[in-house]
Amino acid sequence: MASVVGPRRAWSRAILWKIRNRSALAGNKKRVHHITTRLRLQRHHAQQTKKRNLKREHVDPFGNSGLEVKLRKLVPGAQKLDPCCLLDETADYIKCLATQVEVMRTLVDLYSTI
């Protein structure tokens, strides 16, 4: 779905970037192992920090609401968007996800009758 939308939207650029990087890393297993080890360590460190800062979990230093922070985590590529563009990107992302669900349902219906 991201390739259909193309680079017009921030969320599709973020997803396409992840796909390209994933395929580039697949050929180099040693590098992948190094990156996954580093990610595990970062996740462990983040969990330890989260335990220490439970009260400040949804505090944004820029004064944004906690809901906006949660929305930025859900929509790919939305970290650097202003609030108006964030809502526009979110609406487009939801529309594309709904279309993707419909396509998958159609495929399931098609193959279940065979």
Task: Answer for the pair 75, 61: CB distance below 8 angstroms, yes or no.
Answer: no
CA distance 86 to 48: 30
Tokens for 39, please give them. Answer: 């990610």
CA distance 67 to 87: 12
Task: Answer for the pair 96, 1: CB distance below 8 angstroms, yes or no.
Answer: yes
By three-state DSSP, how is residue 65 classified?
coil
| Rounded percentage of the chain residues whose pLDDT exceeds 90 | 22
Is residue 106 over pLDDT 90? Answer: yes
Q: Please give the model's pTM, rounded to 2 decimal places.
A: 0.57
Task: Answer for the pair 22, 14: CB distance below 8 angstroms, yes or no.
Answer: no
**Could you read off the pLDDT of 18-54 as tens digits, one per residue?**
888 876 656 555 555 666 677 777 776 666 665 555 5
**Ordered alpha helix ranges (H), 1-114:** 2-5, 10-26, 29-52, 66-74, 83-112
